Structure 1
């Protein structure tokens, strides 16, 4: 049954996202009274994550909203998230319990206020909501030209009072219960960016766009102190409450300034706390801990336990600050994913737990200098990694990762266990005299033993290096391997062959040791990339005409060609068994091609094109990275845990869009998806007989029929040396009838009239098999008799066939019925092995009697003709198949 899936993907379903921790929105800190623990909430796209501050372990992920979150706030019970013109309230950090609609513009400020929620949109309309009833309690409309609301806060101990800051620089204090403007502060002629309550009552910290920080007493309208920051506007403010009068201020360049409020001076600078603007700062209540987050996708916890006053990094969660360009599973466990990003870093993400994540850092030509100058000011830093190869075979001995950098000639080695750059920088000596040449590394591969790296260059050269020493071990080709840039290079699993593809439309196979050219093949179009599956020897070549060719390394012939991609092929990956090739292209599709059948079995769309994909070595997850997305997304393989029908998709198949993992579909979507899935996974039921010319074997184990002719020898060999001893007091048990399927027998009570020596009734009893053969003489239906024999063991079958003879209480006509049963099995060509075994045992037991009875001889001759006809037919089919197979082998060779 072939049913085209209307929605989603039949093989892959979204599991979760890795490496997403923070966006450009400020975090929110909550305190759980029962747990006595602080939690930090950060917005990530359309949902928010909740972490415990103690270990920065993720506690929960909220259900996804329809748009990206634009503002986040929280009170004791609920978390509020604004998206577009709508606000949602989440309970238990997960489920939406309230929705507030009424704004005519996008909401950008939220402030929980007792049983109410204050929201401000970009048109400076303030709405105060009743949290439980979702009704509007009050609406205040400001004139955007004179007072554009840019910050809002509730002064401590000020009942029903709210302080608004504006982009024009003035501040207004309102009583939201009576809807009255109480006081207007003229401000400092600069836009207000942050309003923050200080530990002192009546005193407010005000951050301005000029970089100035004002500590102002709003009760007496008196400025207590001013500070000036030289790094741009103030993005966040926070005050210590553990007895130290210290204020932390965030800046757009990622620095944090620490100010002493008693001595009114700068006491510390935490430079490069984040690589982007500081989004939020929060000192934990009565603790020397500062939490910061930024748009660089990082959350950091700083502890102030040093005498200098500056904080040191205590714990952090960090992902890529720019989209990843290449992802690849590191080892055979499938639990670690290496990721290279546009931010220049190489990181490892664990699919088990975030505490196993590690960052290998950013590449630099001089690592010692970069440590002194910091990463941002490193003049010798390397450009982002474009591609890399990894091998864990010798990771304990030396480096196991080799990476190519964007537009850079030198390839670098990395050490996974140390979590840093490696010891060597691989560079050919031929370009030492003329470094001005625009030559860069384009592709790289590591041998399966982990000893050698093969690096391809845009000049057409291919070089081999020893990873342990970093020494050059030769080049492929006398002058160059290709006349144009090399687009792909791969080493086979036995270190015997190296295959390369160049922009000159040539595919070349080289000897690994001697660097000798073995084979050259022309490609229909210029290649874009290559991928070798070492176990099967299949090489996938993505061409510039959006097609994919599959080359068999053993026969050196193209065995498959896949068409259908409508955009550039970004990346490819094989399934662990080499049966599937998953392709990601710029048309936003992820396609799964089945190599044995040469057909497309799965295809789905994503909102953002996948730039890199990697299939887990264990086959449980597909990892993908996408355009303008900071995370790595995992897709679970449904075929491991459920039945999936992999029917070839029709030529006019239109894939549907699947949301990236980390988003939760609605209940309606889940119900529809379940219905479609039940249609898709309709199990194919094989008929009892595929073709009239073929024979069908039984599914019984060989022990049930193969040893029937040697049963007497087996019994003699297994005969016990001593007779079994009867126990003195046998336990009570219900008698059972012998057989493979246990059946309880009737308990017979001894009768006084019945003889204790011989039970005459038992001798006259006929078996069920005997009765079925008698009845089949009239009906000619032998299915019941065959099924009865299938359920018996070898000894029981031997007993049944012996009892068919007249001297054992049987009859000649019943023996004739048995031969007719064998003839019926041969005619139907079902249970062919059982028919041969039963007939062989029958002939062994009753051959002399058959020769004496003409009626039995006639049936035996009929069976002989059927046997000869069946064997001749099967022999011709086997010969035809062997001939065809030999022809195909000779044609390929």
Structure 2
């Protein structure tokens, strides 16, 4: 078992995480001529390009959750707890700012300085490059609790502060003087926003009032009031029409006409939670919003009447997912049902293939020819059908004709043919429905009850011959699917909590209330395996495609893999948040998990598909190691956004050698034939003596010899030694290497020097092919002689270790590249 925790699975990426309650930051890259939006997702932040909302960068994680973010043209600033970090290239921390005693809640970049405010009233101005404190002020939270901050346009070294008591103050941070105090409007300030007009700012208050105020004249130009509570965000449109947008805690957005001084339009439920931030792009009719509902949205104003429409969005579950399951046979799509009432599909290939199938409301349904998904809802009797292709809720609400209204649907399954749905209820009923028509086709059991207690699980076999039901009455029952007559039943030692059938192998897994697992063979109808080890409720389970492994998750925060043929636990690791859902893809490449209090779906790579994995039975007292949940991976198609002054650095062959290896670029004939020179000589033995060549017909000086060669410019002796290996052909190299030992006429120190030369070539990473060929020929000719020299043998042993380590790194790079290539090819097919 490796120290990392799991022998089988390694974290790959998380799907469906886009935003939280922290207001986004917007930045414009002059070199790319593109806007980027930065959103926080816990301990790291994501950077998206606005034109496609494609993720282009993921930052390194901080030690605590991010409380606020800000950005200028060079850096992104993120505050986590009392620490402020500056990120370059949207990834790496290049500077940390220490000095706050409480959590930082406001950040404002201003030129070469950064302004921060914490919950204790400390106001600090930092030098961005050096990290030194330029100015420190303290405000008493009881009299002036700083709640908003902005830099008025064209006001040099000036900062406007708003307080939760309602007053505003204008400060000069260079002279550290208070210039003016605005009494406010008897309501706490929640937002301060610069308008397109100089001297005019927008002020949002806790009572829902929006004040457009001229700070130079201290004159209120106009005010509006929204009926949805405090103002959570303000944004001024800059592409022409004088419009200001205000966000509310209910997720509504109101648009106010500043010329007519009236409400222009409103967009209700733009977000499921409070609108964390809203920003108009400079000179464009586009509005960007984000919220704690895990959504980033771009709205465009191209309709009559000035109302916006949704142009593009990235959104996941606004409440944690409770059930996940792979859809289709290719393993690329994961269906996820969340506590927010939505059914979504996440693609493991690219987020542009994600789908939102809609919200589970019984009043809205669209006609569909044939729905392929059935879902039961918490606390509801009726189950709903869904259409994956249309991305909508289906036409049918499946509800038994005569059932108590207090009953609820507890279990559901679809037959292999896709024509029927089998649904179990809390009252003990098990009903069959036709999915094409939605008609009720019958129920199981006498007096229309299959169990005397709640039905905990239903399943049908691959041939529609058997129906299996498990109930809280501790019984597992076998029914004929067509006649709906009971054939046999098994008495369990505890009430089952859930069950899952692997239809290809006929193995039925049951999770019991006493935290144990049973595996039943539905052919022999006997219990064939019993597993114990979980210390809390088993929340979900899944089989491997070949039916060899059973993977279970529980509230004890463990993910366990049981080997069915051997009957042992072969893999177990611990996660920080309890998993509530698990699904292994039909191709076996990815394991997907959903966790308590997390909005994402986490993917784990099956390492057994990439190389040999030794699985051994784990002891009964095995203590699992906690594994960090995977993070977000940047799509390869996304363009990485860097600072404007950063250029691509050229890397020479010498620099690449420290990370990779480089080849000599010589023809293969110069080094590949070194080990076969004797065969080549016998094959190419001349049949006639060589003839002297004709003299050159021009005056260029030539060198004496059978081969006509022109004289080359004089070079130094050092250059000759360096380039000798490149100029010599295979035969000449063979002669030179043969003469290295004393038997060939060389000095006794030459073999050791040759070994050191090969070691130097391998350590530098250059001419990898030549080093291998030269070493192979040297060992072929002189291994017996060198083996008698202890010093040379010690050098060869060190060289052998270097060869093994270097090849291991190179092979890992090859395997990773081949795996990525095959994955990319499979995604295109």
Short-chain TM bin: 0.7 to 0.9
Give the CA deviation at 1:139. 0.8
Is 1:339 the counterpart of 2:331? The answer is: no
Is 1:540 the counterpart of 2:537? The answer is: no
TM normalised by structure 1 equals: 0.70
User: Distance in 1 between the 2:462 and 2:55 partners?
Assistant: 40
User: Distance in 2 between the 1:750 and 1:60 partners?
Assistant: 65
Is 1:159 the counterpart of 2:175? The answer is: no
Change (3 A) 1:264 1:743: same
User: Distance in 2 between the 1:612 and 1:463 partners?
Assistant: 25
User: Distance in 2 between the 1:64 and 1:630 partners?
Assistant: 18
Aligned 8 A contact 1:47 1:663 in 2: no
User: Distance in 1 between the 2:179 and 2:73 partners?
Assistant: 28
Give the CA deviation at 1:363. 2.1
What is the match of residue 636 of structure 2?
none
Q: State the secondary structure of the residue aligned to 1:367.
A: coil
Is 1:138 the counterpart of 2:135? The answer is: yes
Give the CA deviation at 1:397. 5.5
Judge which range, 4-13 or 573-582, deviates more: 4-13
Match of 1:423 among 392, 395, 408: 395
Describe how 1:120-139 pairs up with structure 2 within 5 A: 120-139=117-136
What is the match of residue 792 of structure 1?
none
Match of 1:653 among 622, 631, 636: 622
Match of 1:263 among 256, 260, 263: 260
Give the CA deviation at 1:546. 0.1
What is the match of residue 611 of structure 2?
642
Is 1:442 the counterpart of 2:442? The answer is: no
Q: State the secondary structure of the residue aligned to 1:110.
A: strand
Match of 1:102 among 99, 104, 115: 99
Judge which range, 358-367 or 45-54, deviates more: 358-367
Change (3 A) 1:447 1:748: closer
User: Distance in 2 between the 1:11 and 1:276 partners?
Assistant: 39
User: Distance in 2 between the 1:663 and 1:141 partners?
Assistant: 39
Is 1:179 the counterpart of 2:176? The answer is: yes
Match of 1:560 among 529, 535, 556: 529
What is the match of residue 89 of structure 2?
92
Q: State the secondary structure of the residue aligned to 2:625.
A: coil
Q: State the secondary structure of the residue aligned to 1:281.
A: strand
Aligned 8 A contact 1:72 1:110 in 2: yes
Give the CA deviation at 1:271. 1.1
Give the CA deviation at 1:145. 1.1
Change (3 A) 1:440 1:748: closer
Is 1:453 the counterpart of 2:425? The answer is: no
What is the match of residue 761 of structure 1?
none
Q: State the secondary structure of the residue aligned to 2:97.
A: strand
Is 1:229 the counterpart of 2:201? The answer is: no
Is 1:485 the counterpart of 2:454? The answer is: yes
Is 1:512 the counterpart of 2:484? The answer is: no
Provide, for residues 738-790 of structure 1, a one-character-per-residue CA deviation record: whole Å limited to 9, x for no partner.
Answer: xxxx97794698999xxxxxxxxxxxxxxxxxxxxxxxxxxxxxxxxxxxxxx
Match of 1:13 among 10, 16, 19: 10
What is the match of residue 717 of structure 1?
none
Root mean square deviation of aligned Cα? 1.9
Aligned 8 A contact 1:46 1:663 in 2: no
Provide, for residues 375-404 of structure 1, a one-character-per-residue CA deviation record: whole Å limited to 9, x for no partner.
Answer: xxxxxxxxxxxxxxxxxxxx9961100111
Describe how 1:475-874 pairs up with structure 2 within 5 A: 475-479=443-447, 480-662=449-631, 746=682
Is 1:114 the counterpart of 2:86? The answer is: no
Q: State the secondary structure of the residue aligned to 2:66.
A: coil
Give the CA deviation at 1:224. 1.1
Is 1:300 the counterpart of 2:297? The answer is: yes
What is the match of residue 401 of structure 1?
373
User: Distance in 2 between the 1:235 and 1:366 partners?
Assistant: 32
Instruction: Select the structure of larger CA radius of gyration.
Output: 1
Change (3 A) 1:396 1:535: farther
Change (3 A) 1:472 1:160: same
Q: State the secondary structure of the residue aligned to 1:530.
A: strand
User: Distance in 1 between the 2:559 and 2:383 partners?
Assistant: 30
User: Distance in 2 between the 1:517 and 1:592 partners?
Assistant: 33
Aligned 8 A contact 1:169 1:189 in 2: yes
Q: State the secondary structure of the residue aligned to 1:70.
A: strand
User: Distance in 1 between the 2:70 and 2:112 partners?
Assistant: 14
Give the CA deviation at 1:232. 0.4
Specify every segment of 5 or more residues in structure 1 that has no aligned partner in the other structure, as ranges.
372-394, 665-735, 737-741, 753-893
User: Distance in 2 between the 1:66 and 1:9 partners?
Assistant: 24
Change (3 A) 1:749 1:592: closer
Give the CA deviation at 1:46. 1.1
Aligned 8 A contact 2:78 2:86 in 1: yes
User: Distance in 2 between the 1:555 and 1:191 partners?
Assistant: 72
Q: State the secondary structure of the residue aligned to 2:223.
A: strand
Provide, for residues 466-491 of structure 1, a one-character-per-residue CA deviation record: whole Å limited to 9, x for no partner.
Answer: 11111122212222111111101111
TM normalised by structure 2 equals: 0.76
Give the CA deviation at 1:124. 1.1
Provide, for residues 426-458 of structure 1, a one-character-per-residue CA deviation record: whole Å limited to 9, x for no partner.
Answer: 111122xxx5x4211110100111111111111
Give the CA deviation at 1:642. 2.5
Give the CA deviation at 1:171. 0.9
Q: State the secondary structure of the residue aligned to 1:650.
A: coil
Aligned 8 A contact 1:320 1:630 in 2: yes
Aligned 8 A contact 2:572 2:624 in 1: yes
User: Distance in 1 between the 2:631 and 2:256 partners?
Assistant: 40
Give the CA deviation at 1:223. 1.1
Q: State the secondary structure of the residue aligned to 1:5.
A: coil
Give the CA deviation at 1:64. 1.3
Change (3 A) 1:501 1:749: closer
Aligned 8 A contact 1:396 1:417 in 2: no
Is 1:324 the counterpart of 2:321? The answer is: yes
What is the match of residue 434 of structure 2?
466
Q: State the secondary structure of the residue aligned to 2:446.
A: coil
User: Distance in 2 between the 1:452 and 1:540 partners?
Assistant: 22
What is the match of residue 63 of structure 2?
66
Specify every segment of 5 or more residues in structure 2 that has no aligned partner in the other structure, as ranges.
634-672, 689-829
User: Distance in 2 between the 1:307 and 1:467 partners?
Assistant: 43
Provide, for residues 701-752 of structure 1, a one-character-per-residue CA deviation record: whole Å limited to 9, x for no partner.
Answer: xxxxxxxxxxxxxxxxxxxxxxxxxxxxxxxxxxx9xxxxx97794698999
Is 1:272 the counterpart of 2:269? The answer is: yes
Q: State the secondary structure of the residue aligned to 1:189.
A: coil
What is the match of residue 842 of structure 1?
none
Q: State the secondary structure of the residue aligned to 2:397.
A: strand
Q: Which has the higher contact order (CA 8 A, sep 6+)?
A: 2
Q: State the secondary structure of the residue aligned to 1:473.
A: strand
Aligned 8 A contact 2:454 2:472 in 1: yes
Aligned 8 A contact 2:116 2:124 in 1: yes
Change (3 A) 1:750 1:249: closer
Give the CA deviation at 1:49. 1.1
User: Distance in 1 between the 2:474 and 2:568 partners?
Assistant: 26
What is the match of residue 192 of structure 2?
195
Provide, for residues 494-520 of structure 1, a one-character-per-residue CA deviation record: whole Å limited to 9, x for no partner.
Answer: 111111111111111111111121211
